[in-house]
Structure 1
Amino acid sequence: MNQKYKFIILWMFPLFTSLVLQGLSFGWNRVVLGNALENFFTLLILLSILLLLTAKIRRIIQYLFYVLWTLSCLIETIYYYIFKANLSASSIYILLETNLAESKEFFEFYFNPSILIMVIGYLIFIILFFANGIALNIDVSNFKRKLLPFFTLILSVVFLLKTGYIQYNFAFLTLRSIKEYIIEYKEIDSFNIDKSIVDIKGFSFNDNLEKATFVLILGESTTRSRLSLYGYSRNTTPYLKSIQSNLKVYDDVISPNAFTIGSLRKVLTLNGLSDMNDFSIIQLMNQAGFKTFWISNQRPIGEYESLVTKIASASDVYQIKNTALDGSITPHDEVLIPLFEKALDDDAPLKFVVLHPLGTHMKYSDRYPESFQKFKGESPSNFKNVRAQQLSNDYDNAILYYDHFIEQIHKKLQVLEEPSYMIYFSDHGEEVFTDIDFAGHMDDNPTKSMYEIPFFLWTNSKFKNSKPLTSNLKSPYSVQYFMHSFSDLNKIKFEGFDSTKSIFSEDFRPHKRIIANDIDYDLYFENTSQNN
């Protein structure tokens, strides 16, 4: 075979293989076809650059280009295969916020023989390319012959930019995301979100409490439809069901994003860190004179701080119990109980404790001890394949254990004599083979289960007497407005407080619920259900 054709065929292998695999796994739609066009013009750009180089440099650089080209096609294809969506900037942003232990869990959770075959196949392409050692031997030494690759390069770049197909390009998305990530974290540093006290304009604390203990439990990846408290067919929350009459259980609450950082940025601060006067719930309670505790089973990224760790570090006491080495199995959430007991025993008269357990995060089977492996066999999942059944059972068992964890927290609060409350909600939901044949969460392919979260409040009699609450149990609500509800619950006011956004207020009015930054949740899923 002519060496030129052999060279071109080797370069085209990854492109056509990706097109076929993405089409088979994701469907032959405009996204897959758009990505194929992007890949084709990216290939033209790479080959044009090679042709503009001298023959000697070209022979070396072609190997680097081919490896990067093949690996980018592989990564895109695996992403399409797993998530049934195109790779996005938010996906890479999440990756940058992920520690090595979570990365290992992600790999174990999604890895299967099909992905292994893909990896081997693309590696074979690279081996074949290196084994053949073919160079692109086209003579473009004179000016006229350089015009064709030069204009091909320019036109390909213009095409990708003008059509918007560049949004599918892995290299472009990665570089843009890293740039935005660095800029954003420089901005976050300027907000002083990790400082204990900041200037909260118009702050007032309208209470004469002498002693109080308030607790917020931040859940992780828990969708409300899998709690028997919300009517699920399996008894996954026996304790919460047993105390249901003493809880305010809110039926229609969602999270603003389907990933932790995106959600908690909006939930734990007033304006999602969109202006310099923003502040967090920790800083709010510090200003009110509470001793604040943040007790976490979520391991930080490493040498870098995430947004959540910066918010947490403003606490008077910040403790991370999860010290597992990268790659180790993380401890179960009950390791937080001794630290919680220590916080309760603290001499401070006013205490606010945030518990941040792992909950039902990703590798569900690692979230509970063997003694909680109650649910086996056929699950109520809408999908009956082996993976769907296994992960559904694991998820239900994780929720059962989570119920046990909350039970231990609640029972320790019940014996307190001072005004106390326990409020719980999850950072986001989780798709577990309910709406689609998939387990996980992502903004790029939203389902209701990824946003629907449990939200409930327990108060003791002394707190009830000091703070009457309006129920609004059936009202649609997004925890994007949680700062207003939280402030209202604690009788705190500040400049910008809006009682119509407090689910606990008689002034409450439903506000537009935005998910994934720009989607109207209620309109989107109303239209989706009509189309189905």
Structure 2
Amino acid sequence: MLKKIVPILTIISYLTAFLLSFPYIFDNLSGAEKLESIRNIFEYGIMFCSFLVFNALLFKNKYTAIIAVILCLLLSINVLISTSCFFIYDSGFNVGMAISILESNVNEAMSMSYMFILPGILFIVFVGMLLYTVNYLKKNVVTFNFKFGVIALIWLILPFFFFLKHRYISNKGGGKMIKSVYYHLSDFNTALKIQEDINMIKKNVPVFNVKKEQPGIENVILIIGESERKQNMSLYGYSKKTTPYTDQETGNMMIYDHAVSPAGITNLSVPLMLSSIHPDEFRYRYDKLSYNIINLANQIGYNSFWISTQASARGITAIASMSKNKKWVNGYDEVITPELQKVIQKNDNKFIVLHIMGSHPNPCSRLPETWNSEGLDCYDSSIKYTDHVMNDIFKTLKNTNSVVIYASDHGLKIEGDKLLHVDSKESTQVPFFVWFGDKVPSVYRITGHDPKLIQTTYIYPLIMKYMGLESPKHYKNEENKYLNLNMRSMDYEKLEE
């Protein structure tokens, strides 16, 4: 009896993982699209059963059995992705997450490894169940005959029928083969295409039609924070004193009280902040990312610098690579200050981007061993540590003709003890402020609070202004379009809380 239960549990486990990645299918079971949801579950169930029979046939030969094991491991990785997204982010999988995986690096993966313990255990269990089921079918059910041969090919044939249907009948998904037993494959195919398109920006150096109005500020510095919620900053009214040094500088700052990010993950939000590409174009015209602030600074005679404590990521690094000077430094964020001190000694106009680790998950790993958290949890403590780094930067630039623009790439949504990268208004609320050195001309020194809702894509025309250029009369931040994790542009107001 136990032998027969395991194959049933394996099928149920696969379909459960599938629904975890596409929760809307489960939600629609009680709605108007109930029949379509049932059809989707049935189709994937049929393909998975066919997959099991296919591999059971391969198991009958010791050489083809190796192929079966590989196919099963790949499918189990598919399930691992689903369970990881559910247990870590309480979310389904999407193209944005596929981009993050492809652009991840060893250090980043290791820093988040503790979050994958439970999904990893489930992965091992599923692999065992899957191989047991295939072996059981080989010994007790499947034989070499026409019937099982046809069943074994269904999982390979159905995707082509789906392709034809979506291309020539309903044309959903732009004719992509969107249904496969490896149901995350289309997300990764889309992500790979995005990476290829983003690489195009390196080959396209644009000419900007800009007008110089007045001498610019000598040192224009943009600090890109990471995963910092303004809700957890005392600068924005948080009850815990997480930004004591920045709080003292408020009289020398322009603070944007209601700033929001244009996307929920770094790989989307930072390119949108640094370039003039519109969210509506991001999915199809990545070559337009060449119209970015680094190329603009280079054209008008600013010496450009990119200094980062974050490891390279293709989308962002493509823009960073256009800097005349670039450096990735190892260590905690405080190591970036000595690098800045070296740069500002140069006697020329400079545009400097500092990309810091900030509160990137795992926030506990962003803190030096000697750092005193003073009773704060790791996330709040990482914000206080960033404030400590900002204080060093302020001291370095105090007696200079420098402006510092600071904004986080995105925020986070908190559910229990989880810090989530999801599409929500809560996770878009970010700190955004401008700080002025003592020698900044009065024409640029505008301080106070701006209470209006503003998107951090405003950074692009703001930098133009500080470089002495005529800013565009209208810019994309006015529309407040948000690029969601499915790579679709939407009105920010329609985003869930």
TM range (shorter): 0.7 to 0.9
Q: Does 1:72 align with 2:60?
A: no
Per the alignment, residue 311 of structure 2 pairs with: 299
- Residue in 2 that maps onto 1:104: 110
Letter in 2 for 1:289: G
Partner-residue secondary structure (3-state), 2:495: helix
Match of 1:425 in 2: 407
Name the CA distance, whole Å, in 2 between partners of 1:182 and 1:24.
23
CA shift for structure 1 position 405: 0.3
Aligned to 1:340: 340
5 Å-filtered alignment, 1:75-224, equals 75-108=81-114, 110-112=115-117, 114-115=118-119, 117-126=121-130, 128-129=132-133, 134-135=138-139, 138-139=142-143, 141-142=145-146, 154=157, 158=161, 171-174=182-185, 176-192=186-202, 198-208=205-215, 212-224=218-230
Aligned to 1:498: 472
Give 1:226's match in structure 2, choosing from 224, 232, 240: 232
Structure 1 position 46 matched with structure 2 position 81: no
SS of the equivalent of 2:296 reads helix
Shift of 1:32: 9.7
User: Structure 1: which amino acid aligns with 2:404?
Assistant: M
Summarize deviations over 1:167-198 as a string: whole Å, max 9, x none: 68672433x344434433333333336x8xx4
Query: How far is the alpha carbon of 1:373 from its aligned partner?
Result: 3.2
Counterpart Cα distance in 1 of 2:20 and 2:490:
28
Shift of 1:155: 5.6
- 2:13 matched to 1:13? no
Q: Is the 8 A contact 2:399 2:437 kept in 1?
A: no
Provide the TM-score with structure 1 as the length reference: 0.76
* Residues 387-466 of structure 1: pairs in structure 2 closer than 5 A: 393-416=377-400, 419-431=401-413, 433=414, 436-437=415-416, 439-442=418-421, 445-460=422-437, 462-466=439-443
**Per the alignment, in what secondary structure is the counterpart of residue 191 of structure 1?**
helix
Task: State the secondary structure of the residue aligned to 2:440.
Answer: helix
The Cα shift of 1:245 comes to 1.6
Contact 1:295 1:355 in 2 (8 A): yes
| Structure 1 CA distance for aligned equivalents of residues 214 and 275 of structure 2 | 22
Could you tell which deviates more after superposition, 420-429 or 73-82?
73-82
State the SS of the aligned residue for 1:251.
Answer: strand
Deviation at 1:140, TM superposition (A): 5.8
Is residue 363 from structure 1 mapped to residue 334 from structure 2 by the alignment?
Answer: no
Structure 1 residue 115: deviation in Å?
3.7
Distance change in 2, residues 1:349/1:157 (3 Å): closer
The range that moved more, 231-240 or 17-26, is: 17-26
Superposed displacement of residue 358, structure 1? 0.8
| Contact 2:95–2:191 (8 Å) recurs in 1 | no
Amino acid at match of 2:48: L
Match of 1:311 among 315, 319, 331: 319
State the Cα distance separating 1:426 from its structure 2 match. 0.8
User: What SS does the corresponding residue of 1:373 show, helix, strand or coil?
Assistant: coil
The amino acid across from 1:237 in the alignment is T
Offset at 1:243?
Answer: 1.2
Show the counterpart of 2:242.
236
Contact 1:482 1:502 in 2 (8 A): no
2-structure distance, mates of 1:321, 1:149 = 52
Question: In percent, how many aligned pairs have the same letter?
Answer: 24
Query: Which residue type is aligned with residue 488 of structure 1?
Result: K
CA distance in 1, matches of 2:393, 2:119: 41
Equivalent in the alignment of 1:483: 460
In the TM superposition, what is the alpha-carbon distance from 1:55 to its structure 2 partner?
6.4
- Amino acid paired to 1:454: P
With over 3 angstroms needed to count, the CA separation of the structure-2 counterparts of 1:339 and 1:483, relative to structure 1, is same
1:283 matched to 2:262: no
Per the alignment, do residues 68 and 207 of structure 1 end up closer, same or farther by CA in structure 2, a change over 3 Å counting?
same
Query: 1:216·1:422 contact (CA, 8 Å) conserved in 2?
Result: yes
Q: Is the 8 A contact 1:44 1:156 kept in 2?
A: no
Consecutive unaligned residues of structure 1, counting only runs of 5 or more, are 323-330, 380-392, 504-509
Of the structure 1 ranges 268-277 and 284-293, higher mean CA displacement relative to structure 2 is found in: 268-277
Report the counterpart of residue 245 of structure 1 in structure 2: 251
Aligned counterpart, 1:327:
none
User: Residues 345-372 of structure 1: CA distance to partner in whole angstroms, max 9, x if unpaired?
Assistant: 12x3212221111111111112122443
The answer to whether the 8 A contact 2:22-2:93 is kept is: no
**TM-fit CA distance, 1:449:** 3.2
Deviation at 1:252, TM superposition (A): 1.1
1:501 maps to a residue whose letter is Y
Q: Which moved more, 1:29-38 or 1:244-253?
A: 29-38
The question of whether the paired residues in 1 share the 8 Å contact of 2:220 and 2:404 is answered with yes
**Superimposed CA distance per residue, residues 379-408 of structure 1 (whole angstroms, 9 cap, x where no aligned partner):** 7xxxxxxxxxxxxx1011111111010011
* Correspondence for 1:507: none
Instruction: Classify the secondary structure of the residue corresponding to 2:405.
Output: strand
Q: Give the CA deviation at 1:52.
A: 8.7
CA-atom RMSD, angstroms? 3.8
Change (3 A) 1:65 1:476: same
Distance 2:116 2:148 in 1: 47
Native 8 Å contact 2:155 2:181 kept in 1: no
Compared with structure 1, are the counterparts of its residues 369 and 212 closer, same or farther at alpha carbon in structure 2 (3 Å cutoff)?
Answer: same
CA 25–500 in structure 1, closer or farther in 2 if over 3 Å, else same: closer
